[in-house]
């Protein structure tokens, strides 16, 4: 089938999906509904720990990426509902060798929750690597180039930094969760004075709050009051609360402003407050990973309901007696709940969505793709076979298999409904000892691919977390992979002609793990020597959600990269 054409999918899935390629936008069970309303979540994928800044008529978002490179994803929107990816703050995780392809020991750490600032004509991004320190990077334009990360404090227990430039007082501040206080046996929120250029802390900070698991603080100054939004575990639910004071150091009034409510199984909190141009207020928050109560705490293992990751919800905010009222309060207890459908904040903009599809015809890799740890750049190419992504095999670190194999590339699962990915891969360049194919992974990995034996025979293999099932010898140069899911139930199919698909391997369950939701992509390694390659001709993804122009464009935002 020629590139640019949509392929037919099974009747089981076609009812929920529309194949649009680069044509008209589609709507789905979440996001922009095309009638002036939206359904939450607005980003039904792994977009956690966001912060949002407005510049002109455009809104910009950052979201954490842990051990993936490039790091700290950047998105933009003109209506707070339809978001597209415009790049990343960090091309590589350069501050520690653990993130290199020859180490690959940075799982679960790396780029955690951060803060995006826009002040004095410059952009600033702050984040904490819990194994390394507090870092910041700055740029003249949101699209970069961003400076090499500056370490503001080495080896810290902190998480979730946020900055605030008080133009009235001509003083900058940084607030963060400073870790557990042994006296209070609760997290301490500490406020630091920061240099006006945003590059240095000026004191040791002052503790302004203690709370159980209190974190994710953000500072806003509105009508003479300082408001500090943060999340805290209260009565088994991670609630959103607000501190208010005329002084940034307090004393503070405290109010719980949002809780889980009916119809939502996961806690709702932690996000960004933003004001639209006409004056309305909005709050973008995440669903946290679902937790099981273990030994009296809620710091236990995650359950399966969060397999898509931590999605983003947008809710209206009203002000009453100087306090924000988040969402709706259906039970009348004075604490807001999230909303499931609402009128869009800003009308008139088209449906759009983060990029997914890729024909690999662009000069640069699309911003939807991220590598597992830093890639080895001499082992992948978009130019050696134009129109394809070539992945060259590396030997895994310490012969460690999938988790230690460099240059695994993937993107986020989109939505929790039905989804279908189809990929065409040329396997003619594979060599003995090589394994390569399609992968789904987060805390687990499930692979469908080709393994090459000593005699050069290429055999189909299904690998579920190390449990391998062998299939037939593949004598064609091209194989088509298809990955399907219906909710968290997933399975693989393959084809040798792009028309007739056969299932292979058992059905498996998608899971959250290593702080990330399920991801879809490609793996390639060689257990013996760095030889062999595959050429990925395309990746086409249909899912039950919005899909706009950008979803089918490679490496570009639907509106073009901003000069701001």
Report the 3 state secondary structure along 300-331. CCECHHHCCCCCEEEEEEEEECCEEEECECCC
For residue 456, the SS3 value is coil
Q: Is the pLDDT of residue 396 over 70?
A: yes
Q: Is the pLDDT of residue 49 over 50?
A: yes
Tell me what the mean pLDDT of segment 286-294 comes to: 66
Say what the pTM is: 0.92
Q: Is the pLDDT of residue 394 over 50?
A: yes
Residues 195-223 have pLDDT tens digits of 999 999 999 999 999 999 999 999 999 99
Q: Is there a catalytic annotation at residue 166?
A: no
Q: Is the pLDDT of residue 11 over 50?
A: no
Task: Please answer whether residues 368 and 355 qualify as being in contact, where contact means their C-beta atoms are separated by less than 8 angstroms.
Answer: yes
Domains and CATH numbers, the chain: 370-552 (2.60.120.200)
Task: Please answer whether residues 304 and 40 qualify as being in contact, where contact means their C-beta atoms are separated by less than 8 angstroms.
Answer: no
As separate numbers, helices (DSSP H) first and strands (DSSP E) second, the chain gives 1, 39
Name the percent of the chain lying above pLDDT 70. 90
CA distance 63 to 152: 20
Tell me what the mean pLDDT of segment 93-103 comes to: 96
Residues 526-553 have pLDDT tens digits of 999 999 999 999 999 999 999 986 665 5
Tell me what the mean pLDDT of segment 179-192 comes to: 90
pLDDT at 4: 38
The more confident residue out of 278 and 244 is 244
Q: Which token pair is 367?
A: 């911003």
Residues 446-501 have pLDDT tens digits of 999 999 999 999 999 999 999 999 999 999 999 999 999 999 999 999 999 999 99
Q: Is the pLDDT of residue 3 over 60?
A: no
Distance of CA 10 to the CA centre of its chain: 29
Q: Residue 184's pLDDT band (boundaries 50, 70, 90)?
A: confident
The more confident residue out of 14 and 316 is 316
Q: Is the pLDDT of residue 426 over 60?
A: yes
pLDDT at 111: 97
- What is the gyration radius of the CA atoms in the chain, in angstroms? 23
Q: Residue 234, Cβ neighbours under 10 Å: how many?
A: 17
CA distance 210 to 192: 16
CA distance 76 to 59: 6
The more confident residue out of 455 and 179 is 455
- The mean of the pLDDT values for the chain is 91
Q: Is there a catalytic annotation at residue 46?
A: no
Q: Residue 101's pLDDT band (boundaries 50, 70, 90)?
A: very high
DSSP state for residue 147 in the 8-state scheme: P
pLDDT at 24: 72
Q: Is the pLDDT of residue 560 over 50?
A: no
Q: What are the backbone angles phi and psi of residue 399, rounded to the nearest 5°?
A: 50, 40
pLDDT at 23: 57
Q: Cis bond leading into 206, ω under 30°?
A: no
Q: Which token pair is 282?
A: 């909005």
Q: How do strand 171-181 and strand 215-222 relate by DSSP bridges?
A: unpaired
pLDDT at 305: 79
Q: Which helix (H) or strand (E) holds 254?
A: strand 253-258
Q: Is the pLDDT of residue 503 over 50?
A: yes
Catalytic residue among 32, 76, 160, 215: 215
Q: Residue 16's pLDDT band (boundaries 50, 70, 90)?
A: very low
Q: Is the pLDDT of residue 319 over 90?
A: yes
Residues 234-268 have pLDDT tens digits of 998 999 999 999 999 999 999 999 999 888 889 99
Q: Residue 156's pLDDT band (boundaries 50, 70, 90)?
A: confident
Token pair 């929790």 in the structure block, residue = 416
Q: Which token pair is 172?
A: 């900058």
Q: Residue 555's pLDDT band (boundaries 50, 70, 90)?
A: very low
Q: Residue 44's pLDDT band (boundaries 50, 70, 90)?
A: very high
Residues 292-313 have pLDDT tens digits of 443 334 343 444 578 999 999 9
pLDDT at 552: 57
Catalytic residue among 46, 49, 79, 359: 49
């Amino acid at each position: 089938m020629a590139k640019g054409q949509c392929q037919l999918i099974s009747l089981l899935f076609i009812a929920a999906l529309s194949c649009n390629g680069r044509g008209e936008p589609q709507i789905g069970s979440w996001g922009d509904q095309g009638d002036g309303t939206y359904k939450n979540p607005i980003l039904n994928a792994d977009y956690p720990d966001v912060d949002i800044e407005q510049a002109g008529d455009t809104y910009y978002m950052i979201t954490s990426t842990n051990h993936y490179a490039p790091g700290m994803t950047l998105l933009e929107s003109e209506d707070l509902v339809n978001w597209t990816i415009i790049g990343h703050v960090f091309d590589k995780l350069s501050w520690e060798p653990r993130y290199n392809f020859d180490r690959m020991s940075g799982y679960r750490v790396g780029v955690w929750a951060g803060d995006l600032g826009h002040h004095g004509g410059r952009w600033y991004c702050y984040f904490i690597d819990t194994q390394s320190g507090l870092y910041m990077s700055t740029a003249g334009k949101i699209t970069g180039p961003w400076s090499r990360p500056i370490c503001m404090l080495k080896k810290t227990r902190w998480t979730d930094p946020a900055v605030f430039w008080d133009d009235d007082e001509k003083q900058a501040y940084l607030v963060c969760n400073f870790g557990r206080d042994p006296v209070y046996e609760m997290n301490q929120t500490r406020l630091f004075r920061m240099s006006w250029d945003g590059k240095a802390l000026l004191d040791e900070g002052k503790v302004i709050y203690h709370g159980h698991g209190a974190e994710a603080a953000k500072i806003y100054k509105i009508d003479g009051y300082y408001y500090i939004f943060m999340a805290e575990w209260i009565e088994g639910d991670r609630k959103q609360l607000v501190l208010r004071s005329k002084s940034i150091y307090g004393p503070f009034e405290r109010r719980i402003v949002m809780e889980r409510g009916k119809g939502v199984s996961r806690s709702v909190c932690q996000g960004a407050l933003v004001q639209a141009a006409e004056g309305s207020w909005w709050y973008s928050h995440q669903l946290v990973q679902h937790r099981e109560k273990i030994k009296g705490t809620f710091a236990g293992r995650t359950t399966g309901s969060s397999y898509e990751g931590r999605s983003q919800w947008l809710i209206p905010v009203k002000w009453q007696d100087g306090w924000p009222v988040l969402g709706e309060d259906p039970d009348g207890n004075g604490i807001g709940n999230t909303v499931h459908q609402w009128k869009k904040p800003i009308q008139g903009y088209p449906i759009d969505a983060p990029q997914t599809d890729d024909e690999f015809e662009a000069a640069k890799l699309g911003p939807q793709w991220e590598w597992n740890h830093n890639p080895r750049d001499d082992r992948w190419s978009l130019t050696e076979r134009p129109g394809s992504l070539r992945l060259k095999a590396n030997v895994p670190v310490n012969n460690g298999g999938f988790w230690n194999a460099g240059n695994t590339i993937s993107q986020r699962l989109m939505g929790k409904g039905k989804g279908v990915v189809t990929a065409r891969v040329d396997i003619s360049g594979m060599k003995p000892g090589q394994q390569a194919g399609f992968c789904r992974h987060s805390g687990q990995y499930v692979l469908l691919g080709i393994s090459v034996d000593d005699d050069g025979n290429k055999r189909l293999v299904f690998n579920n977390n190390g449990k391998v099932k062998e299939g037939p010898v593949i004598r064609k140069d091209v194989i088509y992979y298809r990955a399907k899911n219906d909710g968290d139930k997933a399975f693989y199919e393959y084809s040798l002609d792009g028309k007739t698909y056969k299932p292979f391997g058992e059905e498996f369950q998608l899971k959250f793990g290593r702080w990330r939701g399920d991801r879809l992509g490609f793996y390639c390694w060689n257990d013996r020597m760095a030889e062999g390659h595959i050429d990925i001709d395309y990746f086409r993804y249909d899912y039950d959600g919005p899909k706009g122009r950008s979803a089918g464009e490679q490496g570009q935002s639907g509106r073009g990269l901003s000069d701001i």
